Structure 1
Amino acid sequence: MENMHHVRSTFDASANGYDAQRRKLIPCFDDFYGTAVSLAVTGAQEPRILDLGAGTGLLASMLLQKHPEARLTLVDLSDNMLAVAKERFGGQPDIAYVCQDYTSYSAEGEYDLIVSGLSIHHLSDEGKQAVYGQAFANLKPGGIFVNADQVLGRTPFIDTLYKQDWWNKIAASGLAQAELDAARERTKIDRMAGLGDQLDWLAQAGFADVDCVYKYFNFVVMYGRKPL
């Protein structure tokens, strides 16, 4: 619980200007988010979409371009992040904002799509497994879960390689020193787990066709489908 308070305060403090830094902090930005959106496939005309750790609504805005009739629920711990999301979407109808710990979020009805972008890696391993189980419960049969996130390298050497590559790239991105310092500080709340473990946890939660569809160093997009 202490870590979740730290997560909330960290992202409350960084809400303003968060989106402007995204492309520089995520070297594979277009492919990373583009893959997540490509996987968010549903036959529903007005799909219900749940975004876990929605932050400023960046991923949700991309999904809304693909599914303009969607009804969105954005859940996040940070009031300040959700305030930015509300400003992004203005008075757009069919968007609900929920400020709470999403590890135990129980929907009032089932969703066609559940997504998460760069959030679940802040949780403990037990928290990650709880989210995967809850996501499965909150999906309609045939519903899709997509987690675009960061993972540990398979060995300490590989993990160090990943982190050094990321740092080299963002250091050369043009970000101001204060922004670089803030980015490094935010890594202190990361609690990443291995990719293999997480694919196993998705399968154990009940998801079928579990896979890592995209991988760039420690940035990955994971997929699972709730069987019909």
Structure 2
Amino acid sequence: MTDADATTATTGADWQAWQESWDRQQEWYMPDREERFRIMLDMVEALVGPAPRVLDLACGTGSITARLLARFPEATSTGVDLDPALLAIAEGTFAGDERVSLVTADLKDPAWASGLPYDSYDAVLTATALHWLHAEPLAALYGRVAELVRDGGVFLNADHMIDDTTPRINAAERERRHAQMAAAKRDGALDWSEWWQLAAKDPVLAEPTARRFALYGEHAEGDTPPVAWHARVLREKGFGEARPVWCSPSDTLLLALK
């Protein structure tokens, strides 16, 4: 029996399969997803070294944490999220790994950081998650993140940061991206709704998936302010420098240095 078989037999779920399924679903929306993760970890290594203490903010299934530990085996990670289904996958994936701790918390709650195991972190990392927040709670979250990042530490956020001053560029990019997504869909790619329909039918994930939809509905709606807004607010909240270090036609990876 392989390790994966043993995990499935013990828990009733193949957590690696769910991780891979989540990755494929996310890549349908973001084909360059792995590239943003690579650059994110490049910058972590450049600024805080190869054994960082990391806060994986809005961690979901632990996509960032998995790549962090594969590249930097001496790193440690605290994942924080509110989604019970995605956290169940993370918990199953990292069970028994003392480098990883997972915390359930609502990032809109001013006291969300009270359950973290550490008072400070070398790096706070997040991807494709904070656009679920509106601008005011996001600015408040940035203030708390600035308190958690040590001097010389970093915050990296890869997300949709929309520039409304370029409507024709935005429309052309969106049309091309959606054409590519439609082609992938015809080849069998799962979208967001279809992935969650599968999770709802899984014997282990059905209950946390039901709780997830009770919390969020189909999809939380937040804001996608431009890069300049993020950089300005992060500086106002206590970071010394902030600028993009990578971008695709639709997304940006912004780095803030304490």
TM-score band w.r.t. shorter chain:
0.7 to 0.9
User: Is 2:50 the counterpart of 1:18?
Assistant: no
Aligned to 1:101: 106
Q: 1:137 to 1:180 in 2, by over 3 A?
A: closer
- Equivalent residue for 2:90, pick from 79, 82, 85: 85
User: Is 2:207 the counterpart of 1:207?
Assistant: no
3-state SS of 2:158 partner: strand
User: Is 2:223 the counterpart of 1:191?
Assistant: yes
Give the TM-score normalised by the residue count of structure 2. Answer: 0.73
Amino acid aligned to 2:191: E
3-state SS of 1:211 partner: strand
User: Is 2:176 the counterpart of 1:172?
Assistant: no
3-state SS of 1:173 partner: helix
Q: 1:187 to 1:100 in 2, by over 3 A?
A: closer
In structure 1, C-alpha distance between the alignment counterparts of 2:64 and 2:184, rounded to whole Å:
22
User: Is 2:32 the counterpart of 1:28?
Assistant: yes
3-state SS of 2:172 partner: helix
Q: Which runs of 5+ in 2 are unaligned?
A: 1-17, 196-216
Aligned to 1:142: 152
3-state SS of 1:54 partner: coil
Structure of higher CA gyration radius: 2
Checking the alignment, whether the CA contact within 8 Å between 2:75 and 2:99 is kept in structure 1 is: yes
Aligned to 1:216: 248
Identical-residue share of aligned pairs (%): 24
3-state SS of 2:66 partner: helix
In structure 2, C-alpha distance between the alignment counterparts of 1:122 and 1:96, rounded to whole Å:
23
Measured after TM superposition, the shift of residue 94 of structure 1 is: 2.5
- Equivalent residue for 1:163, pick from 174, 181, 192: 174
In structure 1, C-alpha distance between the alignment counterparts of 2:127 and 2:52, rounded to whole Å:
19
- Equivalent residue for 1:121, pick from 131, 143, 159: 131
Measured after TM superposition, the shift of residue 130 of structure 1 is: 1.3
Checking the alignment, whether the CA contact within 8 Å between 2:161 and 2:251 is kept in structure 1 is: yes
3-state SS of 1:40 partner: helix
Question: How is 1:28-47 mapped onto 2 (pairs within 5 angstroms)?
Answer: 28-41=32-45, 42-43=47-48, 46-47=51-52
3-state SS of 1:212 partner: strand
Task: Note the alpha carbon deviations across 1:106-148, whole angstroms, 9 max, x for none.
Answer: 2541101101111011100012211211111001111111111
Amino acid aligned to 1:197: W
Aligned to 2:53: 48
Task: Note the alpha carbon deviations across 1:155-197, whole angstroms, 9 max, x for none.
Answer: 34343334323322211224647627659x9677352111211
User: Is 2:82 the counterpart of 1:71?
Assistant: no
3-state SS of 1:153 partner: coil
Checking the alignment, whether the CA contact within 8 Å between 2:24 and 2:189 is kept in structure 1 is: no
Q: 1:40 to 1:195 in 2, by over 3 A?
A: same
Equivalenced residues, count = 211
Measured after TM superposition, the shift of residue 45 of structure 1 is: 6.7
Checking the alignment, whether the CA contact within 8 Å between 1:142 and 1:225 is kept in structure 2 is: yes
Aligned to 2:4: none
Measured after TM superposition, the shift of residue 25 of structure 1 is: 2.1
Checking the alignment, whether the CA contact within 8 Å between 1:70 and 1:94 is kept in structure 2 is: yes
Task: Note the alpha carbon deviations across 1:57-96, whole angstroms, 9 max, x for none.
Answer: 1111111123212221100110110111122223111311
Checking the alignment, whether the CA contact within 8 Å between 1:202 and 1:224 is kept in structure 2 is: yes
